Amino acid sequence: MIHVIVNPSSGSGPKREALSELRAAMQAQGRKVIEYRTTCPGDATRYAASIRDEADMVISWGGDGTAREVASGLVGSNTPMLVCPAGTENLFAKELRIPSHPQRLAGIVAAGRTVECDLGIVNGRDFLMIIGVGFDGEVVRRLTAVRRGHITHLSYFWPIWRTFWEHDYPRMRVVADGEEIFDDFGLAFVGNISRYAVGLRICRDASFDDGLLDLVVFTCQEQTALVLHAAWTLLRRHPLKGNVIYRQFRNARIETDRPTPSQTDGDVGPNCPLDISVHPGKLRLLVPPSQLPYGLWPWRGETPL
């Protein structure tokens, strides 16, 4: 039994047509498919938790927020999850190299290859991909305030532009695994995967199966510094800069001198302070065959086995 959890607000017409093709391809394999359409935030988690012990696999059809909700309902179970790229950014599907073509997705289902994946917890709430604190959180807060249904990359233009000129960078205190590592003005990211929007690899060395989370803190108090940080991040050289802290951790706390927003997997997250840790459970993921190991980064001098 395959359960497909669909976020009806995600994706455009062609992606909805692709869902019909995927369903037909799986039925041609002799599989029974049950489709569930979510109705509100948190609904995907509730439904995934209710069928986690009876489903053969669960397919998340939506964006990154839908993937996070489904993962939260399945973590710790033996039921595998396939994340389909049916949203705007699809960071997690890209990290896993999940294709968008329905027939190739059906091939992943048929092959049944699985890997284990970490999750994180922030203030008691699960996250799957990345947390942004400060500038990034403010962009998502602004976007959410005006969002109406499906969004595109263009939807982010004005929130980013306004935040670039208006953001007041907070003073942050960051403690990782009991050690204070930062106390200055800046912005921060915590990642379970390396990929971020428009191809940025902010948490450059993050791997979803290493049992750790990656922390990046940028010292920043003005627009010029932010532009320079963005340039070095595009080159994937930012962990080498003196005004950037990059480290891995299992438990961290981020405090700020004023109420500061965060974003969690592309959605509005809690305001600081944030208590962040690795989830004690694991998530089983369906992934395509891969010629290179996951987490292989050529800029670190790694080569295929």
Q: Please give the mean pLDDT across all residues of the chain.
A: 85
Give pLDDT tens digits for 64-89.
Answer: 989 999 999 999 999 999 999 988 77
Give pLDDT tens digits for 13-70.
Answer: 567 789 999 999 999 999 999 999 999 989 999 999 999 999 999 999 998 989 999 9
* Greatest alpha-carbon span in the chain: 59
Give the domain ranges of the chain.
Answer: 2-112, 125-278
Superfamily of domain 2-112: Probable inorganic polyphosphate/atp-NAD kinase; domain 1 (3.40.50.10330)
Q: Which residues, in sequence order, are CB contacts of 166 under 8 Å at separation 6+? A: none
| Structural tokens at position 249 | 């951790």
**Helices 157-166 and 135-146 sit at what angle, rounded to 10 degrees?**
130
State which fold the 125-278 domain adopts. Answer: Tumour Suppressor Smad4 (2.60.200)
Instruction: Provide the percentage of residues in the chain whose pLDDT is more than 70.
Output: 80
**Helices 102-111 and 13-28 sit at what angle, rounded to 10 degrees?**
40
| Residue in this structure with the two tokens 């948190």, named with its chain if needed | 42
User: Which DSSP string do the residues of 139-187 spell out, in sequence order?
Assistant: HHHHHHHH--SS--GGGGHHHHHHHHHH--PPEEEEEETTEEEEEEEEE
